[in-house]
Structure 1
Amino acid sequence: MITPDEAQARILALGVPVAVETVPLLEATARWAAHDVTARRTQPARDLSAMDGYAIRYGDLPGPWRVVGESAAGMPFGGHVGTGEAARIFTGAAVPDGADTIIIQEEVAREVDALTLTGEGPPHQGAHIRRAGSDFASDNRLVTVGDHLNPARLALAAMGGHGHLDVHRRLRVAILSTGDELVLPGADTGNDRLPNSNAPMLAAMLGPLPVELVDLGIVPDDRAALATAFARAHDCDILVTSGGASVGDHDLVRPVLIDLGASLDFWKVAMRPGKPLMAGTLGTTIVLGLPGNPVSAFVTATLFLLPLVRHLSGARDPLPRRIPASCNAPLPAVGPRTDFVRARWVGSALAPLPSTDSGVLSSLAQADALIVRPAGSEATPTGQPVEAILLG
């Protein structure tokens, strides 16, 4: 068996980021930048007012002034502010020529065009002015290749003058569930069947990512049926199977893939839950075989499937981020496999959830994080620092 870290590295090595396309800004949401994005303009393009008030010359304090014009956002005052003069100005409006300071409207009184100081006035020359280029200048790099195009970065690219961005195309990801015991969610299960919970769970996990899902449905434990289903994924970037990847008599995913000419890299990982994990390629499609138990499928999807999708989509840092945390309960020693312990936040500490069974979905639904317990870790007391992967 290989370690989870080695499994992650070997899975990411199975493929490279997919082709680049140029899309409108709104279609780039939640993708990763395929190239650096540089500013095509300076922001602000000129000095702007940060407050509603009056543009004046600082040397004219304490006034009075004569109001000679008005500057609004998008409609600047075209004149010049001279000695003893002021221009009415609004937030976001261009500072008129000649003015060097903004006095806020709450500190003055106006009678027709006569303006007098009633408060303390601006604290210094240049007060309440956003200087040209204070956000960024033309040709500054705004987004770096591999950055996630979150809402803030999309807004920054738009402000920088971009209406389109270069991103990696959407991936085609096929999901296939195996098992004679599975039925569609909502169907009658009788005493011997189970609802297929993994497929909707995996689809929901992939939902925020730039993928096109291909549902291959539920396939029985039958070689011919599996071969037919695998053939339907020939044009997909990733084929994800759930169940059937172990070594039992009814676990047929691996032998059928081998019969079809797949190249399998590994099929066991030293982790708990999630030991029966398989990875390889079938033609140009990367195959990831997840365990059938729901919690194991969730944990392995978190650690391996989602990073693979991010990697192929051009992410610079595709692996889940680990954060330091404290644990509000003692933790037992760990055996030869890395433990990923379901936990939830209680105040500022993580509380391990009681069930470690890989089939118990109720504890997974309560979990906010996975505590990472490396193989061979000693028992730790309450309050001991731990590493955790945040969920959701």
Structure 2
Amino acid sequence: MTPLLDLEDAQQRLLAMAAPTQGETIAVESAAGRYLAEPLLARRTQPSHPLSAMDGWAVRGADMPGPWTIAGESAAGHPFAEEVDAGRAVRISTGAIVPPGADAVLVQEECRRDGNTLHFAGTAPDPLSRHIRPRGLDFTEGSVLLSAGARLSPAALALAIGGGHGTVPVRRRPRVTILDCGDELRAPGEPLGPGDLPASNGPMLTAMCGELPCDVTRRGPVADEREALLAAFGTADDADLVITSGGASVGDHDLIRPTLESMGAELAFWRVAMKPGKPVMVARRGRQIVLGLPGNPVSCFVTAFLFALPLIRAMNGCTNPLPTAQTMPLRGSLEPVGKRAEFIRARIHEGMVEPLRLQDSGAIAPLAVADALIVRPAHAKCIQNGDDVPIFRLYG
């Protein structure tokens, strides 16, 4: 029997197989969620001129405490065209260019206008430039806005556009084919006979992968027959990644592995020391990676979270594709762990994480309400109420 791989070792082996897809240039407004193929450099300086951070009056600090003669106005998009000379003040709006000669902005609440004369009743800004955003405060032309591999979040899109970009270089969306395998499976909503089950894993995996930049094709249910599996894999020749669910264990009807071997695929590893999800299988078929996940819904979900999603991120060029753990106090207690790492479905409530009562790998109802996985390393000791535990957030 093939020995079990440690989870971390298995993840690193899988990610080492992931070559980023080719780069392409697309409109920045269509790039949400994509990953940069190259560093993104600023094409302009932001702000390009000193700007007022407040509504008020632009003056020379040397003229404090006034009074001043009002010379005009500087509004956003409509700068004051002249230089501010001694004894003159310019009305200024938030985001407007500070006119040449002015080195201070007085907030409007501390000023009083009397006809064409401005009076000041407050304290001079300390420093004088306190309410002025200097040129280049955000970034300067030629500086790195975002590194290669960065994900284009909504804020990153704003940064790219602010930096002068209308298009961005990103990785091509990986092509992913999902095969739902098993004689007992029926398409969603179909009538069920004795021993039949609705094929939920394929739609679940499609939804999980669809939250990342990839083009997903789902096929199945595929029968537990060599010919049916050969035909299904044959339709996925152009896929970068094929994800199967079911058929990857050691039963008489688990035919994924022998079918792949008959097609010339090379087995990379099989069976991981984790619970749920031990029968994870990874193979290479030419340039294509095949990831075989367990058929039990919870095992399928957990292994997709820990293997399939990081792999798709890596194919997109993401530099940190694995999920990030955080710590949270436990509500309840947990028993010691054996030789396999365990992932406990849990709910977060009032700043604590609580294991769900039912942890069976076939139970979909608790999985549907879980919003976290409690991470229990192999050989971990018992955990008491209030102790900190590492968790993965599943959503948000």
Q: Is the structural similarity TM-score above 0.5?
A: yes
- Equivalent in the alignment of 2:270: 267
Quote the offset at 1:62 in angstroms.
2.3
- Equivalent in the alignment of 1:228: 231
CA shift in 2, pair 1:357/1:59, >3 Å: same
Q: C-alpha distance in 2, partners of 1:174/1:122?
A: 62
Kindly indicate whether residue 60 of structure 2 is the aligned counterpart of residue 57 of structure 1: yes
Residues 84-103 of structure 1 aligned to structure 2 (within 5 Å) = 84-103=87-106
- Equivalent in the alignment of 2:182: 179
- Equivalent in the alignment of 1:341: 344
Kindly indicate whether residue 7 of structure 2 is the aligned counterpart of residue 4 of structure 1: yes
Quote the offset at 1:118 in angstroms.
4.3
In structure 1, which of residues 299, 305, 328 is the aligned counterpart of residue 331 of structure 2? Answer: 328
Runs ≥4 in structure 1, deviation > 3 angstroms? Answer: 118-124
- Equivalent in the alignment of 2:81: 78
Residues 1-392 of structure 1 aligned to structure 2 (within 5 Å) = 1-120=4-123, 122-392=125-395
* Residue segments in structure 2 that go unaligned for 5+ positions in a row: none
Tell me the SS of whatever aligns to 1:127.
Answer: helix
TM-score of the two chains, using structure 2 as the length reference: 0.95
Q: C-alpha distance in 1, partners of 2:90/2:381?
A: 72
Quote the offset at 1:345 in angstroms.
1.1
Assess if the C-alpha contact under 8 Å between 1:107 and 1:121 holds in 2: no
Identity of aligned residues (%): 50
Q: C-alpha distance in 1, partners of 2:262/2:76?
A: 68
Quote the offset at 1:52 in angstroms.
1.2
Tell me the SS of whatever aligns to 1:204.
Answer: helix
Assess if the C-alpha contact under 8 Å between 1:69 and 1:79 holds in 2: no
TM-score of the two chains, using structure 1 as the length reference: 0.96
Quote the offset at 1:119 in angstroms.
4.3
Quote the offset at 1:99 in angstroms.
1.0
Assess if the C-alpha contact under 8 Å between 1:242 and 1:292 holds in 2: yes
Q: CA RMSD in A?
A: 1.4
Q: C-alpha distance in 2, partners of 1:94/1:5?
A: 54
Q: C-alpha distance in 2, partners of 1:15/1:45?
A: 41
Q: C-alpha distance in 2, partners of 1:31/1:154?
A: 10
Quote the offset at 1:388 in angstroms.
1.3
Q: C-alpha distance in 1, partners of 2:121/2:114?
A: 13
Tell me the SS of whatever aligns to 2:300.
Answer: helix
Q: C-alpha distance in 2, partners of 1:72/1:202?
A: 52
Tell me the SS of whatever aligns to 2:112.
Answer: strand
* Residue segments in structure 1 that go unaligned for 5+ positions in a row: none
Q: C-alpha distance in 2, partners of 1:257/1:45?
A: 59
Q: C-alpha distance in 2, partners of 1:368/1:272?
A: 18
Q: C-alpha distance in 2, partners of 1:159/1:347?
A: 39
